[in-house]
Amino acid sequence: MRVLVQRVSSARVTVDGETVGAITPESQGLVALVGVTHDDDVAKARRLAEKLWQLRILDDQRSASDIGAPILVVSQFTLYADTAKGRRPSWNAAAPGAVAAPLVAEFAEALRKLGAQVATGVFGAHMAVELVNDGPVTVLLEL
């Protein structure tokens, strides 16, 4: 499982022109783009959620847990693109939707159980993600 985290001052995800998840510009937040591979499991999703919740990448070296920063979780199978050969990426390392969807949902739910305010995209949908990267700060989390 990979989580590409961006510190943001605002963000939103739209599907078919409708906003399905957002972080408003009142405070800093985090966008978590989540990719799942074949050997990932619920335990890994929970550990990554806890790592993200405690990650000190907000202003003054604070974490989302310190200030209650909102988190926008968006599924992103392309984090497992293999571009080693040729010009066309291979997606073989990305887990199929039947495996990935419940793990992305578990990741978001684990964040909620930790106390996070979580918004999400729609798994498998064509989403438009808009964000203002603050810093910029972008971090790749893996276990």
- 104-108 long-range contacts (CB < 8 A, ≥24 apart) are 104/34, 104/36, 104/45, 104/73, 104/75, 106/42, 106/45, 106/46, 107/1, 107/3, 107/32, 107/34, 107/45, 107/46, 107/48, 107/49, 107/73, 108/49, 108/73
Catalytic residue, chosen from 28, 37, 77, 120, is 77
Catalytic residue, chosen from 78, 117, 120, 138, is 78
Q: What element of type H or E holds 105? A: helix 97-114
For residue 117, indicate whether it is catalytic.
Answer: no
For residue 107, indicate whether it is catalytic.
Answer: no
List the helix and strand counts (H, then E) for the chain: 3, 6
For residue 77, indicate whether it is catalytic.
Answer: yes
Residues whose CB falls within 8 Å of the CB of residue 143, separated by 6 or more in sequence, listed in order: 1, 44, 47, 48, 51
Catalytic residue, chosen from 76, 107, 117, 123, is 76
The residues annotated with a catalytic role in the active site are 76-78
